[in-house]
Amino acid sequence: MAERGTETLVHTLKKVAAVLKQEEIPFALGGSFAVYAHGGHSSEHDVDFLIRESDIDQALGALVAAGFLAERPPEDWLVKVFDDNRVVDLIHRPVESPVTDKTFVETIIRPVDAIHMPVLSATQLMVHKLLSFSQHYCDFARGLPLARSLREQIDWERVCRDTRHSPYAEAFLVLLDRLEVVAYAGTPEREGTP
């Protein structure tokens, strides 16, 4: 991630993290920069933080005071802040599951350009990516770099367990098996099937 645009995004990421830390608002870095923080390949250029819904007003107030512009978009699972034309998503309900204290327990402290911060685990990142696939959005090409570059850090049994209700996740896991990225044990037996 040496491109000029990415460097300014990293600067924005650090500014947001510093404000959240100063305000003692629990958060976790997610999305493509979390993949990057774990040493993986990231092709996206956005900044995502996970925070609890109950902390949104405090976070927005502190970030506006620090010079960011805030927006509450129609989507009810996130809010946004802007640093010039750079966007940071503050997500409180990723993949229809609210951010809770448990979300932060499972994070890993990683340095991101010399500032240490909690980052979603590689397993959490993979679960979130797979659960984002649906009949309206099913771009497996966006999940492949994550799976390939972080495969040794991912608890694949947990990924299978946490995503077993999604046929899109299952199809992606079968694809990973066929591409010899990671072995897939197959669909667990369902009640009433031989």
Q: What pLDDT digit, counting tens, does each position of 59-114 carry?
A: 999 999 999 999 999 999 999 999 998 999 999 999 999 999 999 998 999 999 88
CATH number at residue 13: 3.30.460.40
Q: Is the dihedral of CA 87, 88, 94, 98 positive or negative?
A: negative
Number of structural domains (the chain) is: 2
Residue-number span of the structural domain to which 182 is assigned? 121-194
Same-domain pairing of 116 and 132: no
CA distance 53 to 99: 7
0.85 exceeded by pTM: yes
What is the pLDDT, as a whole number, of residue 45?
A: 67
Three-state secondary-structure class, residue 164: coil
